[in-house]
Chains A and B, each alone.
Chain A
Amino acid sequence: MPSESPREDSAQELLASMTTLRRQARAARQAYWLPLLLFGVLIAAAAPLYVESVEPPPLRAGSDGPALTGLGGGFLEKSAALGWYWLVALVGGYLAGLAWYRWHGRRAGVQTPTRAYVVAGIAGTLVGLALPIVLEFLLLNTSAPLSSGTSWLTGPLLGLANRGMLPHLVIAVGLAVLAHLERSRSLWVVVGLYTVVLVAVNAWFQISDLQSGDLTRFSFMLAAMLPAPILLIGGGLALAAAKKQHNR
């Protein structure tokens, strides 16, 4: 950057120089591979809690968990354990993401604003705890016109919540906020694919006319695991790209 005279630089040169600096700073601060891998691993680690036992459903000792286990859904045998798992995993995952970005920002010299990401994640977790109760109220306890008018949304959402997949939605919301903060098209693509799979899996349950015996003990587990590879592959590719750039 040799020139000190403000008028010597052409507008085009200045704008090109700004684009380069902006691109370099963005590449230095972007670090979304870790949240992608972290949430991918957290979903995969929950797999055993989605597997049903071999006993027929009527023989199981059913129990209603406390309100804090609302993220575990109502259809699953291990709902309470799954609810506790996701409560800890989501809050821990978002706080770990905050700590990661602080550390990475200090190391890179450019900090990404991540407050909105953590706020969205924690608020999403709290909303996820209350949502099943609100949805059940809307579907079952309100007047018929209101209930039928909102059932196109409340029905599928309650189905998703009952299958223990609200945490997946909370992750999608958090990652969408992160994609906005990171200004990353690649992360938007990963979030888009993840959301499409999440919606498609739940739409299949909603549309299929499932009868007793149609589902195996692994059906809910398979449904819950399907979005995880997208986060793991997306995070892996982002990590490889970050290492390649670091080695240049």
Chain B
Amino acid sequence: MSTVDDPRASGPFPTNGLDDTVHQRHRLGILTIAAEGERVEVAYLREALELTAGNLSRHLTVLEEARLIEVEKGYHGRRPRTWIRITREGRQALHSEIAALQELLRRHQQTAPTSTSAGPDDRPLT
């Protein structure tokens, strides 16, 4: 019988749904920002995530090789600019990751009923 006191009874543990390519904190941040717009400039990502150019480039390469993002190089005037665009697979992977994290949080709160902290979904987005 399924009860809230027995998390094992409500399916596989949510960490099974976490993908290491996506779950890494900075890569998750890149996908989150990229999913918010049509495309995002690398300079914006570097500033928002407080990463060095080399570190960011390493994470972008991982995501591009996993086909979760596409990289577009171009110019604005004479200045070279690099934009990234999230792919359909990237959007799906991000949604799966969010669902897994929310499920993990839900189970954690069920097993620790004294916890009173609110989840991020309670916060307004705009």
Residues of A within 8 A of B (CB): 1, 3-4, 6, 9, 11-12, 14-19, 21-26, 28-29, 105-106, 108-114, 183-186
Contacts and interface: CB of A to CB of B under 8 A. Distances in A.
B114 interface: no
B50 A18 contact: no
B44 A16 contact: no
Contacts of B28: 14, 17-18
A14 B31 CA distance: 13
Given A19-B123, A109-B43, A184-B126, A11 B104 contact: yes
Nearest to B107: A11
A21 B126 contact: no
B20 A6 contact: yes
A185 B120 contact: no
A180 B98 CA distance: 21
A11 B37 CA distance: 24
Nearest to A26: B36
A3 B25 CA distance: 8
Closest 6 interchain pairs by CB?
A109-B44, A113-B38, A109-B41, A15-B120, A25-B36, A110-B37
B101 A111 contact: no
Nearest to B101: A11
Contacts of B61: none
Interface of B: 18, 20, 23-26, 28-29, 32-33, 35-41, 43-44, 47-51, 76, 81, 83, 98, 101-102, 104-105, 108, 117, 119-121, 123, 125-126
Q: Which of B18, B48, B50 has the most CB of A within 10 A?
A: B48
Nearest to B40: A110
Contacts of A11: 101-102, 104-105, 108
B36 A6 contact: no
B119 A1 contact: no
Contacts of A28: 44
A21 B33 CA distance: 6
B23 to A, nearest CB: 5
A19 B38 CA distance: 18
Given A3-B25, A183-B125, A12 B105 contact: yes
A6 B24 contact: yes
Contact of B126 (A16, A17, A23, A108): A23
A1 B37 contact: no
13 contacts: A1-B50, A6-B18, A15-B98, A17-B25, A21-B48, A26-B36, A106-B41, A108-B44, A110-B37, A110-B44, A111-B40, A112-B37, A113-B37
Given A11-B105, A12-B119, A26-B125, A21 B43 contact: no
Nearest to A28: B44
A105 B41 CA distance: 9
A16 B121 CA distance: 8
A1 B26 contact: yes
B25 to A, nearest CB: 6
